[in-house]
A = this chain, B = another copy of it.
Amino acid sequence: MLDAALRLCERDGYQQLTIKAIATEAGVGRQTVYRWWPDKAEILMEALVELAESLDLREPIDSGDTLSDVRALLSITYSLTQSITGQAIVGLMSDAQADPALSAKLQGKVIGPRRDALREILRRGVDRGEVSAAVSLDLVVDFAFGAMWYRLLSRHAPVNEELADKVADVVARLLAVEPSR
């Protein structure tokens, strides 16, 4: 049923996704869908969370090397958007603009945790003296995920492993501890 939702969402787009279609695709009565979720946003969110959990290694990322950690986290996150979830994520974010409850849930379950994870990695790096805090860490996080969103929305370039590498390089450059002297 969650699979059906994701499948149809990617095929037809978020706006065209219909509860009726999900039910039909899943070979289920419409009422049965309503029994479990109040609307299509909740369905997709649950589907996404489930998908995310199946991909993430649930063990926290902490290899000891900050840059490796950054690269790993971004790589996992970016790859999530490559499976079949682009339409769903963007659609949900769009709906969340006018729906504080949905917005809160997305923040709490999808956006926030990843943001926190990246910041925590950087924080650890600073604490260990591996990286400087010359640039606001929050801004660095904005860059790392911002590049992803911008490409997801605009689609001028893919969101893939290569991007993760490049972003990690730039982070390294930005937060290098006093390269000279």
Contact = CB atoms under 8 A, between A and B. Distances in A.
Interface string A134-178: 111011001101111111011111000000001101100110000
B13 A98 contact: yes
Nearest to A12: B98
Contacts of A98: 12-16, 87
A123 interface: no
Interface string A120-139: 00000000000000111011
Contacts of A155: 103
Could you say which of A13, A153, A173 has the most chain B C-beta atoms within 10 Å of its C-beta?
Answer: A153
A170 to B, nearest CB: 6
A90 interface: yes
A94 B94 CA distance: 6
A46 interface: no
A75 interface: no
A177 to B, nearest CB: 14
B93 A135 contact: no
A99 interface: yes
Contacts of A94: 14-15, 90-91, 93-95
A178 to B, nearest CB: 10
Considering the complex of A and B, which 4 residue pairs feature the smallest CB-CB distances, nearest first? A13-B98, A146-B146, A94-B94, A146-B150
Given A115-B154, A146-B147, A179-B180, 4 more contacts: A96-B153, A139-B170, A146-B146, A174-B174
